[in-house]
Every structure is written in structure tokens, then in C-alpha cells.
Structure 1
Amino acid sequence: MFKLLRSLVIAVALVVSSIAVLPSHSTNAYSSYDVVLYFPLDRYPETGGHIRDAIASGQPDVCTIERDGADERREESLAPYPPISGYDRDEWPMAMCLEGGAGADVRYISPNDNRGAGAWVSNQLEDYPDGTRVKFIVQ
């Protein structure tokens, strides 16, 4: 009985220790996707830098398109961040993503960069239906 219990404890310890060393993206619920979108950092450096930094700090790199409810998610994500004259509040995940809303990463950036990036993303994704899972890669 003691050998069986000891073997069970060792097996559990091995499983737990192997989980602890997995990269965070390996255990990320957002690891499956339908399409990859390469975001142009050179065209929109502030937005691209924000997306990259937000993903690096634990925000998802996959966005599930869900256009309905975007206004409500935007309100939720921006509520703790008061407007500042001359800046836009950029949120990641974006409001058009089901993953957006409360808890999104928000950064103040220039309106030209933010709005240009928003238009670019909208144009890239306009033909994809709601429910499409998009992996963002900033490059």
C-alpha cells in the first residue's frame, strides 16, 4: 500500500511540475483559430506596440469576431480610463472581439495611429462572419 501511495504522489508531482513549466500560450484557451492576421507594426507603431505588449502580459492573441455588443464592451473596457485631450484610448482585446470588454488592456495613443489601425483591421476582417477566431501576430 505504501509503495502504491508513494508512486501516486510521485506521478502527481511530475504532472504538476510539468504543467508549471509549460509556456503560457500552451495552456491558453485561445490557442485555436481560423485565420491569422499579420498586424503591420511599421504602419501603426503605437497600436502594434500596445497589442504586442498586452499579449505579452497575458491578454489573448486570438480575437473571436462578435460585432454585436461592441459598443457595450468598449464602454466596459474604457470606463476606468478617463479621456485625455489629444489621445485616444486603445483597448486590447478590441471591442469587436468577444474577449474584449471589462479587463481589457487600455493604453493612451495618438488618434491617427489608433483610428488608422482600427480602419485597417476592419477592412482586413470585413468579409469574415461573427464567430471567426483571428490570431493576431504583430510584425
Structure 2
Amino acid sequence: MLAPRLKPSGVFPIARALSIASQRAASHSAKVNPFVEINKLAAEGKWDAINNCPKWSLTGEERERANAIYAKIITPEDNFYAYGGQPYGPYVYLVSRVALCFGIIFVGCKIYEFVVPEQYRLKIKYAPKHHAEEHH
């Protein structure tokens, strides 16, 4: 059994086809341009192909350019989105959390030393001495 062929729309079929083609071309070129730039960066050795992000060792204007291109290709579903969209965000996040933990412990110890008097903190140092007693 053969299905009947559908007739094309009679209202401005050429204009409709052109508008669809221009929409496809615009959306396609918007997604292609970052990858063309990424290919240029990779050819210059400024793109990490394994991790799909800019090289860690970039500095200055090169780093800004690479991060701008990287920001174009990430989406909110990316793992790096939670870390500000930076390529090495999870590592920076981990290091900052470990440093924060040690910092809180250090500040807590300093507050304890400042608030609690030395006689209470150092009970062994200020314990009564029994030098006159004989130890058998």
C-alpha cells in the first residue's frame, strides 16, 4: 500500500524555504565558529585535546582568548559550570576547600590561645611542683 504524497504549502514556498535555510545556517555557524577557533588554538599548541580545555600554562592575552572560546562551548550541563566555567575549576575548588579547612583550624587555635588564660591551657606547666618530696 502506497502512502499519498503530501503537497508542499502553496503560500510562499520559496520564502519559507529561504527562511528555514537562513535559520539553519545561522545556528550552524554559531556552533561552528568556536570549534574553528579551537582548531586554531590546537594548531598553535594552546589547547589541551585530552581534557578539551585551554592549556594550564597559558598566560595573559592568550589565556583570556582561550578561556573566552572555552566559555562559548560549555553548557550549563557541564561539570565545570558549578565552578565558574573554568576548565580546571574542580581542582581549584578542591585546593581552596582544603586551604579553607586548615585556615579554620588555625584561626580556631589562635582564638583559643587568645581567649583561654595560659594557666588553664597549660595545666602541666603550671602544676604544683613537688621537689621536696622523696620518691621511693
Instruction: Report the TM-score, using the length of structure 2 for normalisation.
Output: 0.25
The higher radius of gyration belongs to: 2
Structure with more strand by fraction: 1
Instruction: Report the TM-score, using the length of structure 1 for normalisation.
Output: 0.25
Structure with more helix by fraction: 2
Q: Which has the higher contact order (CA 8 A, sep 6+)?
A: 1
